[in-house]
Amino acid sequence: MMPRATIVALLGTVGILAAAALAPWLKFVLTVALAKGLAVMGILLLLRAGQVSFGHALYLSIGAYTVAFLRPAVPDLLVLLPLAAAVALGVGLVIGLFVARYRDIFFGMLNLAFSMVFHSLLEKLYAITKGTDGIRVFRPTVAGFALERLPYEWAVLGLALLLALGLGWLAARFLVSPLGQALVAIKTRETRLEFAGVSARRVLLVAYAASAALGGLAGALLACTTLHVTPHLAYWTQSGELVFIAILGGGGSILGPYLGSVVYELVRVYAAAALPDAWQMVLGAVLLGIILFASRGLWGLYEDLVMRGWRRA
Amino acid sequence: MALLLLLAVLDGLAYAAQVFMVAVGLTLIFGVLRVLNVAHGSFFAIGGYVAASLGAAIAAAGFSSALALPALLLASAIVGALLGPLIERLILARIYDKEQVLQLLVTFALFMILEDVQKLIWGVQPIFQDAPVRSLGQVAVGDIVYTVYQLYLLPGVALAVLVGLMWFLRRTLTGRVIVAVTEDREAATALGIDADRVYLFTFTFGVALAALGGALASPTTSLVPGIGVNMIVLSFAVVATAGLGQIEGAALTALLIGLGRSVAVYFAPEFEVVIPYLIMVAVLLVRPHGLFGRPQLRRV
């Protein structure tokens, strides 16, 4: 499994770089897709434990607003990104201490509640956040260099790719580690896990904190790509989007989130413009279809195709 | 100061009445179907929109505005009868034996669909109707002039729903059958109870209650996209604070949270949205199963 996934990841990297070079407007779309892929990977970790969070837009927006607030003081991208991830990690640890006591319904809905509270604070505390106007982010420097628009866009895309590859590899290692296996056991039989002397709460907390940090990093990358942050990043539709992409991509592989988010963003460029008021409806219908009829997502479909090909050969 | 406090209490009562109607449907459906219906807030919103459309149609046809009040009831019945059986039979019936995370995802998908259905039918501009409020006039409470609608009608309907529901569940055959399925589905089915019919009935009834909450809210607030999501999160806070499946508990908690919120509206408006969740988190930290909830046995 593992080597084949590596090959697919490398092919994907080449494909993304080639697409961005051939069609410059795709650069923006692909950077956004990779950033969201990082956040979706966090959702995937939680899904492995059988838990779904309807509020991870909270961490997207925390990452993005960290960049927006710190940009005047800390001008460099390479410092801003880890800072955003660290702030999201901190918030994730505190909220995680609370939500990791809960499962299923409570886990999903408490996360939604936290994100809705943060969304309304972002909108209402105008003096600090500029409300729905949002905050403009001036282009950060990269490793000390103040880049022009084009090289800057390449730098952010390259960074997003490196982060996706590196963190994707780490996450895959994590899932096969004892801690990752304990995470899967929360889904199958949590009580037995505790009988074996493992604290399910602590295992879930680790995964939750990791998913929060990934969300923060994704939000920071989005802020550095769009150069403008608004409270909309914390709205429930964003959380729904992350869950949607996770299910679309499929939970079977760490590549699922990236496959899902690239497909999703490419479709969205056209479809969301054509149906602005029916976009959530399309997403909901597809989500229903996947859950009821193809529960392993796009990666599952891909695996089926490849397996069939191999058997024939 | 005292005046503001009195205003806050009156507002809180009216608001708690609306929230209770949505929360009680949510908790009833959960008690029987064991599915937390994320789309429940959408039924609240759709109930409000249908009521506003009916109200506009009545006014356009030139009927007396006294009809505006029964129209609210009619709106909730229409929404319940149309959407309830459709969604329960077509979608929910397929997922009762699936993992809880998938059930949550399915109702979340329904929620996404219904949010846009509202936008497609009623647009994104705020819709407002106040005929039901005007038809009842105003009344003086101390130095405050308050609407009869919010002072008597909203809390009155909520109280009637609570008392009626308790009577229905304890004293009628259908109600007792519902309680039996809630307590132990397998044993109830073994005794010859048709659980499918109970599910269908309960879900439809819950949808109608949420729509009634929305219909009653429609004259006191503007209908805009997003009221559905605010209501599901808030009513979940009520239900979770009370303990999932607790009906009287939901009434008390709705009161607590409604009052807490309206006090915040007058004294710290920025934190209006935060107060209900602060109450919820505080309660859950001390009692993880809610104020009135019972801990569940864990399977090995």
Cβ of A288 within 8 Å of Cβ of B113? The answer is yes
Q: Is position B224 within any domain?
A: yes
* Distance from chain centroid for Cα B60: 29
- H-helix or E-strand spanning residue B50: helix B40-61
Q: How far apart are CA A65 and CA A43, in angstroms?
A: 20
Average pLDDT, chain B: 87
Q: How far apart are CA B129 and CA B222, in angstroms?
A: 8
Q: Is position B5 within any domain?
A: no
ipTM of the complex: 0.85
Please tell me which of the candidates B101, B269, B299 has its beta carbon nearest to residue A51.
B101
The domain locations on chain A are 2-235
Please tell me which of the candidates B111, B119, B272 has its beta carbon nearest to residue A277.
B119
Number of Cβ pairs < 8 A linking chain A and chain B:
116
Shortest distance between the Cα of A106 and any Cα of chain B, in A, equals 8
Please tell me which of the candidates A47, A52, A278 has its beta carbon nearest to residue B120.
A278
Shortest distance between the Cα of B200 and any Cα of chain A, in A, equals 20
Q: What's residue A311's pLDDT?
A: 62
- Tokens standing for B196? 């499918």
Cβ of B111 within 8 Å of Cβ of A284? The answer is yes
Shortest distance between the Cα of B201 and any Cα of chain A, in A, equals 23
CA–CA distances in Å: residue B35 to residues A190, B96, B102, B228 = 21, 8, 10, 18
Cβ of A284 within 8 Å of Cβ of B124? The answer is no
- H-helix or E-strand spanning residue B147: strand B144-147
Over residues A108-135, the mean pLDDT reads 88
pLDDT in tens, A7-24: 888 888 888 888 888 888
Over residues B25-29, the mean pLDDT reads 92
pLDDT in tens, A155-180: 999 999 999 999 999 999 999 998 88
Shortest distance between the Cα of A278 and any Cα of chain B, in A, equals 5
The residue of chain B with its CA nearest to that of A120 is: B273
Report long-range pairs for B250-257 (Cβ below 8 Å, ≥24 apart): B250/B20, B250/B23, B250/B24, B250/B27, B251/B20, B251/B24, B251/B158, B251/B162, B252/B291, B253/B23, B253/B291, B254/B16, B254/B17, B254/B19, B254/B20, B254/B23, B255/B12, B255/B13, B255/B16, B255/B20, B257/B16, B257/B19
* C-alpha torsion sign, points B38, B43, B48, B53: positive
Residue A250 has pLDDT above 50, yes or no: yes
Q: Are A261 and A40 in contact (CB under 8 A)?
A: yes
Higher-pLDDT residue of A311 and A127 is: A127
Q: Are strands A228-229 and B138-141 parallel, antiparallel or unpaired?
A: unpaired
Shortest distance between the Cα of B63 and any Cα of chain A, in A, equals 34
Which residues of B touch chain A, with CB atoms under 8 Å apart? Answer: 36, 38, 91, 94-95, 99-102, 104-106, 108-113, 115-117, 119-120, 124, 229-230, 233, 236-237, 240, 244, 269-270, 272-274, 277, 280-281, 284-285, 288, 298-300
Q: Is position B1 within any domain?
A: no
Higher-pLDDT residue of A2 and A95 is: A95
Cβ of A104 within 8 Å of Cβ of B101? The answer is yes
Q: Is position B112 within any domain?
A: yes
pLDDT in tens, A266-301: 888 877 778 777 888 888 888 888 888 877 778 887
pLDDT in tens, B221-266: 888 888 888 888 888 889 888 888 888 899 999 999 999 989 988 8
A chain contacts of residue B110, beta-carbon cutoff 8 Å: 284, 288
B chain contacts of residue A195, beta-carbon cutoff 8 Å: 300
Cβ of A288 within 8 Å of Cβ of B236? The answer is no
CA–CA distances in Å: residue B104 to residues A228, A311, B154, B183 = 33, 37, 31, 22
Task: Map residue B110 onto helix, strand or coil.
Answer: helix
Q: Which residues on adjacent β-strands are paired with residue B127?
A: B223
Q: Is position B4 within any domain?
A: no
Indicate the Cα dihedral angle B12, B16, B19, B20, nearest 10°: 180
The residue of chain B with its CA nearest to that of A47 is: B101
Residue B297 has pLDDT above 60, yes or no: no
Please tell me which of the candidates A98, A104, A281 has its beta carbon nearest to residue B112.
A281
Which residues of A touch chain B, with CB atoms under 8 Å apart? Answer: 47, 50-52, 54, 98, 101-102, 104-106, 108-110, 112-114, 116-117, 120-121, 124-125, 189-192, 195, 236, 240, 243, 247, 277-281, 283-285, 287-288, 291-292, 295
Unique residue bearing structure tokens 């009834």:
B205
Cβ of B105 within 8 Å of Cβ of A101? The answer is no
Q: Which residues on adjacent β-strands are paired with residue A17?
A: none
Cβ of B112 within 8 Å of Cβ of A283? The answer is yes
B chain contacts of residue A192, beta-carbon cutoff 8 Å: 300
Is residue A93 very low, low, confident or very high in pLDDT (cuts 50, 70, 90)? very high
Cβ of A120 within 8 Å of Cβ of B94? The answer is no
Q: Are B80 and B29 in contact (CB under 8 A)?
A: no
Cβ of B300 within 8 Å of Cβ of A285? The answer is no
Q: What's residue A1's pLDDT?
A: 46
- Tokens standing for B162? 């609570």
pLDDT > 70 in chain B, percent: 98
Indicate the Cα dihedral angle A72, A73, A77, A80, nearest 10°: -120
B chain contacts of residue A50, beta-carbon cutoff 8 Å: 99-101
CA–CA distances in Å: residue A62 to residues A39, A88, A223, B230 = 12, 6, 10, 21
Residue A69 has pLDDT above 70, yes or no: yes
pLDDT in tens, A176-188: 998 888 888 888 8
Specify the CATH number for the domain of residue B188.
1.10.3470
Q: Are B139 and B145 in contact (CB under 8 A)?
A: yes
* Residue B66 DSSP label: G
Q: What is the pTM of this model?
A: 0.87
Task: Map residue B15 onto helix, strand or coil.
Answer: helix
Task: Map residue B197 onto helix, strand or coil.
Answer: helix
Task: Map residue B138 onto helix, strand or coil.
Answer: strand
HEC sequence for chain A: CHHHHHHHHHHHHHHHHHHHHHCCHHHHHHHHHHHHHHHHHHHHHHHHCCCCCCCCHHHHHHHHHHHHHHCCCCCEHHHHHHHHHHHHHHHHHHHHHHHCCCCHHHHHHHHHHHHHHHHHHHHHCHHHHCHHHCEECCCCEECCECCCHHHHHHHHHHHHHHHHHHHHHHHHHHHHCHHHHHHHHHHHHHHHHHHCCCCHHHHHHHHHHHHHHHHHHHHHHHHHHHCEECHHHHCHHHHHHHHHHHHHHCCCCCCHHHHHHHHHHHHHHHHHHHCCCCHHHHHHHHHHHHHHHCCCHHHHHHHHHHHHHHHHC
Cβ of A116 within 8 Å of Cβ of B105? The answer is no
Q: Are B38 and B111 in contact (CB under 8 A)?
A: yes
Which structural domain, as residue segments, surrounds residue B114?
Answer: 11-286
Is residue A313 very low, low, confident or very high in pLDDT (cuts 50, 70, 90)? low
Shortest distance between the Cα of B64 and any Cα of chain A, in A, equals 35
The residue of chain A with its CA nearest to that of B34 is: A105
